[in-house]
Structure 1
Amino acid sequence: KKNTFVPNGKAENPEKECKRYDSLVEKSGNIDLQVLGIGSNAHIGFNEPDDKFAKGTHLVDLKQETIDANARFFKSKEEVPKKAISMGMKNIMAAKKVILLASGENKAQAIKSTIEGPINPLVPASILQLHPDVTFILDEEAASRLDK
């Protein structure tokens, strides 16, 4: 646990926290193992679909789809955060090893677009096609739309 680091999503100054986190990652020699989930819209690390890949850690407005998907972790919809601190793609791609976990049919199209589609910031996880050491761990439902 002492070697596990995530940005402080409750920081009073999110911009300062983003800079602190990027500095921490850089000083540590980058991430050894990056474990990711994937949203049904193919976001990773809360890097939501956009017209560009965000490089550094940044504050992001969550898409309604992401807010709805995370509502199950809160007592009420009003408590679900509308913003998040997201590790940028630069840190994710600099990780020595990436593991992406996905389960459920609701992730199937995101997985297909990520693995078999073009690299596109509208499909943020597609950038992982460029990573030299990424492993996808998928259940049958999440893998159901992949070309066999």
Structure 2
Amino acid sequence: MGANHLLKPAGFVYESYLNNFGRHLFYVIEGSYTSLYMGFMFLIISCALLSLQFLTQMQATKERYLTLSMLGANHEQMKKSINKQVLWYFLLPLLLACISSLVGLFAVQKHLHSSQAAIAQSYPLMFIMADSVILVLVVYAFAVARTANCEIGKLKWKTNS
């Protein structure tokens, strides 16, 4: 503060340590929030695309389910089959993402962080992020399974009439 009082009347243009620290902290926090926002937007968009692709594929192969119904498969069997398909359709990308993130976390811990205390402090945030990703995938998977089951119900209705 004393240096500020001496340099301000002299007309020097300078930046104090606190201003520099504050700006740096703002950039770090802003970058973190932007990264989280972009990550969640990518997650939502990719889940929507997976859902759209599955339901479009199901619409294109409706005749197969109709054939299964004519061959004697009941509604519950087809519903169980679709639920398994949706489970694997959403589970495979999730498993690949988990493997990729584990490799990334291992690399960060091994090469970037030298302090075990900093790593231990980041574990709760990692678990929160993993839980939120799994929650979004589960919500989308249930929505797709419900929509697919409704479509199968419509096919069954058509076969009975």
Question: Do these two structures clear the TM 0.5 threshold for a shared fold by scoring above it?
Answer: no
Structure showing greater relative contact order (alpha-carbon pairs closer than 8 Å, 6 or more residues apart): 2
Normalising by structure 1, what TM-score?
A: 0.20
Which protein is richer in helix relative to its size?
2
Larger Rg belongs to = 2
| Structure 2 length-normalised TM | 0.19
